[in-house]
Amino acid sequence: MNPLRKQRLLIIVGVVLALSAAIGLVLYSLTQNINLFYTPQQVVNGEAPLEARMRVGGLVVDGSVRREADGLGVLFDLTDGAGSFTVRYDGILPDLFREGQGIVANGTLLRRDYFEADEVLAKHDELYMPPEVQQALERAGHPAAKPATMTDAEKGSYGY
């Protein structure tokens, strides 16, 4: 084999190996950082992986909010009408957080009935529900799944 051809072949093989390694590392990183959404029913049924980062969403169960005496810890139950589990959040809850409201929490599922949240997101007004939560409630047949309708005056104040 000609030394020039051999050198070109080695360069091409080296570039292909380097590109393969780079693509492999990027794909591995993406799978580690992906944040999938699960409903309470999926969590209770065991469809959500334990000890994995994820988002969960549903309605805060009325009368379930419990504040820990020694700090900012809050426990509350989350449901979609078909499943329910406890969420613990250590921090200041959003101003719009309240019982009976749709929320989305980011964190880690430690057990099928216990979720440790590091971020809680509340809907921004009484007419909005996160799309994932809305679909989960509709599938579970929950009465809160009916979308609210806006009057013409409300549409005007929101710029519709």
* C-alpha distance from residue 75 to each of 3, 67, 110 (Å): 71, 6, 14
At 142, the pLDDT band (50, 70, 90 cuts) reads low
* C-alpha distance from residue 150 to each of 84, 97, 129, 146, 154 (Å): 30, 21, 14, 13, 6
The rounded distance, in Å, linking the Cα atoms of 94 and 46 is 29
The rounded distance, in Å, linking the Cα atoms of 81 and 138 is 9
At 159, the pLDDT band (50, 70, 90 cuts) reads very low
Higher pLDDT, 136 or 57: 57
Residue 149 has pLDDT above 60, yes or no: no
Q: Quote the pTM value.
A: 0.64
**Mean pLDDT of all residues in 125-152:** 63
**Mean pLDDT of all residues in 90-95:** 87
Q: Which CATH architecture has domain 36-146?
A: Beta Barrel (2.40)
